[in-house]
Amino acid sequence: MPTDYLIKPDPLDSRLSAAVTGMDQTGAPVETRVVTEKALTLYLNSQEVVTMMTIGDHPDLLAVGYLKNQNMLQPGDTITGIDYDDDLEVVVVRTERETNYEEKLKKKVRTSGCAQGTVFGDVMDGFEDMALPKAELRTSWLYELTKNINTTPSLYLEAGAIHGCVLCKGPDPLVYMEDVGRHNAVDKIAGWMALNDVPADDKIFYTTGRLTSEMVIKTVMMGIPILVSRSGFTAWGVDLARKAGLTLIGRARGKRFLALSGSDRITFDMDPSDADDEPKRNRRKGSEAAE
């Protein structure tokens, strides 16, 4: 049985998906669920930073995680308040330190992340200085994690067209976030870690999406030493992972996985033949997966 999550998706939350009607390939009428997508404008003190498209849950975590992953919140910064207005679709993060990022906001690198995927130029400077901690990944943990995560009720299984990210420790998934953009799901977890002072050195990060440069950069900047995906890799993502010493595992489905970086952290303590095959997904008829 899957472990109890600290936070997990609520596929029955009516705010996060909507029922729509249409027809299938035979012309028969169908009703299916589709995820919501709404704008959220983020301010850091009085400075407008970005407008993101999101499903709308956990705006406080998304805001703080975005600012942390873009180096706009420094380790010593004290957050004095987070204000969210649902009607105005605005979230404001307030800090003791006066901030002004007008010049920084002009310097962006567009990434392959869907929707608003961006990385500010000086994030790469911090990336080069990161030293990831030693950690262990047992293959028995990996098999158990993928099985538990892939059988957890989620918006992905209910409606598709969404990405999921999970913070794990050993064989236990802890926090499971979903959003229309994989970068948003990452940032929600980063925000939860920052606001709860959660250490990163013994954690594993799991994503349903591709292992792109942005996914690698954000995982490294969060200080997490192991990144796992059920999907594939990009060449730049692999190159950055090797430079940072990040353990990078993709195509993790059932008995199979592929490690392209940081294999020294892996302990092969379970014969793959003893692991379960990945069960067939039972998503609702008419839904589409996010790839």
Higher pLDDT, 17 or 226: 226
Question: Smallest Cα–Cα separation from 41: which of 116, 107, 152?
Answer: 116
Strand arrangement, sheet containing 38-44: 47-54, 38-44, 90-95, 79-85
The model carries a pTM of 0.87
Give the pLDDT confidence of 2-11 residue by residue, as tens digits. 468 999 988 8
pLDDT score recorded for residue 182: 86
For 196, phi then psi, to 5°, come to: -115, 10
Region 159-186: mean pLDDT is 92
- Quote the crossing angle between the two packed helices 182-195 and 59-69, to the nearest 10°: 90
Q: Are 270 and 139 in contact (CB under 8 A)?
A: yes
pLDDT score recorded for residue 103: 63
Region 208-224: mean pLDDT is 92
Separation between Cα atoms, residue 247 and residue 241, nearest integer Å: 7
pLDDT score recorded for residue 105: 64
- Structure token pair of residue 223: 């200080």
pLDDT score recorded for residue 1: 46
Could you tell me the domains of the chain? 1-291 (3.40.140.10)
